[in-house]
Amino acid sequence: MPLTPAKIQHIQRQVIHWQASHGRHDLPWQHNVSAYRVHVSEIMLQQTQVTTVIPYFERWMQDFPSLSALAAASEDDVMAHWQGLGYYSRARNLRKAAAHLADEHNGEYPNDLKALNAIPGVGQYTAGAIRSFAFNDYGPIVDGNVKRLYARLFAIDGEPNSSAFNKIMWQYANSLTPEASGAFSQGVLDLGATVCKKSQPLCQACPLQSDCLALKQQRIAELPNPKKRKIKPVKDAHFVWHTDSADQLLLIKRPSPGIWGGLWCLPQHDEVPANSELVGEFTHQFTHYTLNAQVWRAAADQVNEGLVENGKRMAEFRLQSVHELSAVGLPTPIRHFIENVIALRQPTNN
């Protein structure tokens, strides 16, 4: 579809008019709008459903209501607020962003796409979202919902995660986004999320139905093209369970960057510790692989293996009461495993 100035203005008007009447207006980050609130919400929403994010966002804003509050918070406190959301590098990057903005921009968000893109953890999409929603200035955005909308609207084939496909998506976004882009950007997000859905799209409710090439060609179900399926590798892991007489569990802090970086975790070993007994097992699905984990009860000397090398302690550790786990940030599968073990130890009332 050729994007003439008239066609661009038509699409802009349709999206903005629809958003005003049918779009989402009551999400918590849409009230008391600030660049900081937009930034936090967009980082939380990466790979995460809106309904999941809302309670995390509200708790975050209660405890870290400003950039300065976030910059002053400890890593442990930040990670504890993030536990359960996954992709923990996002939380670490938010802390880095607060320090970056304090050092480079006097604690303020710049109204410039290039400067926004230079903030740790802020990519092309998030920079556009901050500029669009916080400043109502030109801020093109492309996420999964927008990709689906544009792929159908313009009947675009291609591997959805390929650089060539993404380049086309951004070309359309750059051309379609108006100078004052807040309502338009929210509109394309809302259309993709609530109308142009992956399955059972509500085409008859779409303000762009008369323009949609996929609808005219009866190709809605095949666009965007399916992603290439990849077989996930399986990785084995061995964790150690060690408690003292006060029912305190040994935890170590995972290094950053890396899986679960910055979180507290059961010590991990490359092999089954000698003279140990199996406490239990769990499986966890990461994006790129499946983790099969076994947890072993081991003696103190076995626990220290891997934590101490040449007399020097190699990892930060703590003894944490199994009844006060909420005080520390733990990976969700580790937390669930610990809670299940503790629950099994509780006496039942018959």
Q: Model's pTM, two decimal places? A: 0.83
pLDDT over threshold 50, residue 103? yes
What's the pLDDT tens digit per position in 160-216?
989 999 999 999 999 999 999 999 999 999 999 999 999 999 999 999 999 999 999
The domain 234-345 is placed in CATH, from the list 3.90.79.10, 3.30.360.10, 3.40.50.1370, 3.40.630.10, at: 3.90.79.10
Assign 1 a pLDDT band (cuts: 50, 70, 90).
Answer: low
Superfamily for domain range 5-222: Hypothetical protein; domain 2 (1.10.340.30)
Classify residue 48 as exposed, middle or buried by CB count within 10 Å of its CB (0-12, 13-18, 19+): middle
- Residues catalogued as catalytic: 42
- C-alpha 182/C-alpha 102 separation (Å) is 26
Residue-range domain boundaries for the chain: 5-222, 234-345
pLDDT over threshold 90, residue 345? no
Phi/psi at 320 (5° precision):
-120, 130
**Stretch 245-253: mean pLDDT:** 87
